[in-house]
Amino acid sequence: MDRRPTIIDVARKAGVSKSTVSLVLQNSTLVKEETRAEIRKVMAEIGYVYNRVAANMRSSNAGLIGLVINDLRNPFFTEFATSVQMTLSARGYATVLANTNEDPDLQAQVVSAMIEHGVTALMISPTYGNEAASFDPIARAGIPTLQVLRKVVSDGRQFPFAAPDYEEGGRLAAEHLLSLGAHQIAFIGGFQGRDVTKKRMKGYLSVLGHAGIEPLILPGRPTRAFGREIARSLAQDYPDVGAVICFSDLVALGVLSGCAEIGRRLGIELKVVGFDDIEDCAQVWPSLTSVRCDIAGFGRRMAEILLEWVELGRAPPEETTTPVELIVRASTSPKAIA
Amino acid sequence: MDRRPTIIDVARKAGVSKSTVSLVLQNSTLVKEETRAEIRKVMAEIGYVYNRVAANMRSSNAGLIGLVINDLRNPFFTEFATSVQMTLSARGYATVLANTNEDPDLQAQVVSAMIEHGVTALMISPTYGNEAASFDPIARAGIPTLQVLRKVVSDGRQFPFAAPDYEEGGRLAAEHLLSLGAHQIAFIGGFQGRDVTKKRMKGYLSVLGHAGIEPLILPGRPTRAFGREIARSLAQDYPDVGAVICFSDLVALGVLSGCAEIGRRLGIELKVVGFDDIEDCAQVWPSLTSVRCDIAGFGRRMAEILLEWVELGRAPPEETTTPVELIVRASTSPKAIA
DNA sequence: CTGAAAGCGCTTACAG
DNA sequence: CTGAAAGCGCTTACAG
């Protein structure tokens, strides 16, 4: 193919100046309707395509948003990223996406790359560790950046944060199990000391505290494999524990597999609550009770918040918390199974 | 923040011309080592960040690759997209990603957006329907574009195609079940008439043909929900069918749930083979036998093929087929379950 | 309502 | 080894 046609080619063919063509591109009412139609016709004829990059150089509104995700293979983050990307797309923005795989160095690298590419704003579900390597360059470049799902930088003025109400989720889960008559309720999975774990655990701890029940915390990787392992050790080492709250649905799904493996009946011998309510929860059998974070809705909302920031200059509050709800399914209601 | 520093600021501060700074940016040996070091120091001091967009305007090598995916929420495509993105990132390219949700109009829209953003090349796992709306603009723009996983445009010169060897996968699955003594083997899920379905089915049909066995095809959505439904109707309407090949792992996972629900034992009463070998297959219980497409490896390879095309001008062959293998697990070997 | 000119931040010949 | 000038494809005041 030859060189792509430019506004100069269009202008020449249409017999106007390139400024006029530029105005048409911007749908300006300064140009007579007739002329506009004529110029558009010429564009179609010669196959003109708008060079947004060049336009951006002068006016600097790239229409490019960077989305950085710590673990894109995890369905929870996939759902989130997809939702953000599609919302941005509907609003005329393209998304440059990168998975950091929980690697702080990789994160720093992709963040720099995005800055070089001139992203208008960033949304980041960050990984833990070496936060400065990623966030200092962003701060220097002065790019509006939203921390989501995990808070790793405490300066909420510069890097506003948003997440579902994890603490309330932990509370709802614990209250639900308590109302079902559970006497011993364990919290399983999740790395100790991390913000998300602490929040989810806090709700659980406060409910148990009020009820005068001794908590049991079994931390671990937030994976199916861990859930599967813990299902076995729960049966062996903690036979009296009749209910568990899982750090995430992945852990809960692992528990489901583990229980199937050892023949322990979910909902009857062991009640299980997941966290996040990813799609799988409703699809597996027995279906999983879970704390719904409405991650798709959360993604849409985050996209909108970010665009409001870049388009209207309206910075989000330092911290945004979105509501959660408990979705009760078979894994905590034996009748649904029978 | 103020305006970002440019090479002019760097040049002024370092007391050289901006051309020299530009050469340093490109690591040119034309500039004395000393000068280079000095200029780099200045850059660090004033917080200079390279403006790749401006650079691109003159030299047109954007370092931006467009990745278009038909269903990003499906773990198979997630794995693929993640693998592609990470490989590109490691090679210094940023990825602009879009999910089309199987919507041809949306696909056409995101493709145009990517072209406007000046992507260097495109990789597309396309949706079916109105192909011209997406591919004609690409052709006009003359952007190197690889069709992956699904072939919707037949012109392999202009749009080379690559996918795992689906037909061989169908064959391996059928042979495996046959060798296990299965007498009636059904192929379930997948939309009739689509290229992927036809390929996967073809291997199955040829094996059954040779064995003189009547095929049974039960097409349907490639989803967990369909798998769950069909598990029930298999037990009711086709009790003699002792083995199924699923169009995809999602269907197989649905069958697994469905069987758990009605108390049918996988591997014993019903042998199940999935397709793709997504991560879940090894994690669920009983674990699923599946045709491994090594989708992560496939993604890496596709990224490399595409970069070879844009960097060295070496266009890929019209069609590339990558090997598959059968991974045998509990769902087809009862002993593993016991 | 439309045109001529400058400028966005780089790279690329071309001189020296 | 380094500098001055033109140009990438647009937008944006400024004239007219």
CB atoms under 10 Å from CB of A254, counted, come to 29
Among candidates B258, B288, B280, which has minimal Cα distance to A227? B280
User: With 80 as the cut, is the pLDDT of residue A38 above it?
Assistant: yes
Query: What rounded mean pLDDT belongs to chain B?
Result: 94
Closest residue to B49, CB basis, from A97, A109, A115: A115
Q: Is the pLDDT of residue B14 over 70?
A: yes
Distance from C-alpha of A276 to C-alpha of A298, rounded to nearest angstrom:
11
Which residues 217-256 in chain A have a CB closer than 7 A to strand C? none
Residue B2 — pLDDT band, cuts 50, 70, 90? low
Query: d(Cα A91, Cα A85) in Å, to the nearest integer?
Result: 10
List the nucleotides on chain D closer than 7 A to a protein CB.
Answer: 1-5, 7-13
pLDDT by residue (tens digit) across A46-102? 989 999 889 888 877 779 999 999 999 999 999 999 999 999 999 999 999 999 999
pLDDT at A30: 85
B122 three-class SS = strand
Q: For residue B114, is it left (φ>0), alpha (ψ between -120 and 50) or beta? A: alpha
Angle, to 10 degrees, between the axis of helix A195-211 and the axis of helix A166-179?
30
Q: How far is CA B69 from CA A29, B81, B150, in A?
A: 37, 8, 11
> In terms of residues, how long is chain B?
338
- Alpha-carbon distance B25 to B21, whole Å? 6
Q: What gap in Å lies between CA A302 and CA A307, rounded to an integer?
A: 9
Q: Which amino acid is at B309?
A: W
Q: What is the pLDDT of residue A338?
A: 41
Lowest mean pLDDT among A77-91, A169-183, B6-20, B214-228: B6-20
Q: What is the pLDDT of residues A190-209, one digit of tens each?
A: 999 999 999 999 999 999 99
Residue B228, φ and ψ in degrees, nearest 5: -65, -45
The pLDDT value recorded for residue B162 is 98
- A96 is written with which tokens? 């440059």
Residues from chain A that touch B232, judged by Cβ atoms under 8 A, are: none
pLDDT at A337 > cutoff 70: no
Question: Virtual CA dihedral for A87, A88, A94, A100, nearest 10 degrees?
Answer: -80
Please provide the DSSP assignment of B167-220 as one string. Answer: HHHHHHHHHHHHHTT-S-EEEE-B-TT-HHHHHHHHHHHHHHHHHT---EEE-B
Distance in angstroms (rounded) separating the CA atoms of residues B67 and B60: 19
Residues of A in contact with B97 (CB under 8 A): 85, 95-97
User: Which alpha helices (H) appear in chain A, and where do they start and end?
Assistant: 7-14, 18-25, 33-46, 52-59, 75-90, 104-116, 131-141, 166-179, 195-211, 224-237, 249-262, 280-283, 295-312, 334-337
- Work out the angle at residue B158's Cα, subtended by the Cα atoms of residues B154 and B161, and round it to the nearest 5 degrees: 55
Q: What percent of chain A has pLDDT over 90?
A: 85
The two structure tokens encoding residue B227: 């798998």
Q: In which band, very low, low, confident or very high, does the pLDDT at B30 lie, cut at 50, 70 and 90?
A: confident
b/e map A34-59, b = 16+ CB within 10 Å? ebbebbbebbeeeebbebbbbbbbee
- Cross-chain CB nearest to B96 (options A95, A101, A284): A95
Alpha-carbon distance A311 to nearest alpha carbon in chain B (angstroms): 17
Q: Which of B52, B116, B260 sits opposite A52 (nearest CB)?
A: B116
Chain A CB within 8 Å of residue B94 CB: yes
Among B74, B223, B284, most A C-beta atoms within 10 A, so best to mutate, is: B284
Nearest Cα to Cα of residue A55 among B4, B117, B8, B63: B117
A319 touches chain B (CB under 8 A): no
B243-271 mean pLDDT: 97
Reduced to 3 states, what is the DSSP secondary structure of residue B305?
helix
Q: How far apart are CA B282 and CA B336, in angstroms?
A: 13
B100 interfaces chain A, CB cutoff of 8 Å:
no
The per-residue pLDDT for B335 is 63
Choose among A71, A210, A91: nearest CA to A150. A71
For A25, counting Cβ atoms within 10 Å of its Cβ (0-12 exposed, 13-18 middle, 19+ buried), the class is middle
Give B109's contacts in chain A (Cβ within 8 Å).
89
A16 touches strand C (CB under 7 A): yes
CATH architecture entry for A7-57: Orthogonal Bundle (1.10)
Minimum mean pLDDT range among A50-64, A159-173, B127-141? A50-64
Joined together, the tokens standing for residue A296 give 């798709």
Q: Which residue of A101, A113, A253 is in closest CB contact with B94?
A: A113
Strand D at less than 7 A from CB of B21? no
Verify whether the Cβ–Cβ distance B115 to A284 is below 8 Å. no
User: Is the C-beta of residue B14 closer than 7 Å to nucleic acid chain D?
Assistant: no
Q: Give the pTM.
A: 0.95
DSSP B266: B
Is B44 in CB contact (< 8 Å) with chain A?
no
B295-312 helix and B75-90 helix, angle to the nearest 10 degrees: 40
Rg from Cα positions in chain A: 26
Phi and psi torsions of B118, nearest 5°: 75, 35
pLDDT of residue B59: 74
B186-215 mean pLDDT: 97
A17 versus A131: the higher-pLDDT residue is A131
Q: Do B94 and A117 touch (CB under 8 A)?
A: yes
Mean pLDDT (whole number) for A211-225: 97
What pLDDT does residue B91 have? 95
Count of Cβ atoms closer than 10 Å to residue A115 Cβ: 21
d(CA B190, CA B212): 24
Q: Does A113 reach chain B within 8 Å, measured CB to CB?
A: yes
Q: Do A47 and B110 touch (CB under 8 A)?
A: no
Looking at 3.40.50.2300, 3.40.50.720, 1.20.200.10, 3.30.420.40, the CATH number of the domain A166-294+325-332 comes to 3.40.50.2300
Does B50 contact strand C, using a CB cutoff of 7 Å? Answer: yes
Which positions of chain C lie under 7 Å from any protein Cβ? 1-5, 7-13
**What mean pLDDT is predicted for residues A149-153?**
97
One CATH from 3.40.50.2300, 1.10.510.10, 3.90.1150.10, 3.50.30.40 for B63-159: 3.40.50.2300
For chain B, residues classed under CATH 3.40.50.2300 are 63-159, 166-294+325-332
pLDDT of residue B84: 98
- How much is the pLDDT for B33? 86
**Better-predicted residue by pLDDT, A26 or B238:** B238
Residue A272 banded pLDDT, cuts 50, 70, 90? very high
Please, is B336 exposed, middle or buried when counting C-beta atoms within 10 Å of its C-beta (0-12, 13-18, 19+)? middle
| Confidence tier at B338 by pLDDT (50, 70, 90) | very low
**What is the spatial distance between Cα A62 and Cα B117, in angstroms, rounded to a whole number?**
9
In the predicted model, is pLDDT for residue B130 greater than 90? Answer: yes
pLDDT of residue B337: 47
Please say if the pLDDT value at position B334 is more than 90: no
Specify the nucleotide whose C1' lies closest to residue A58 (CA). C8
Nearest alpha carbon to residue B119 among A82, A51, A7, A87:
A51
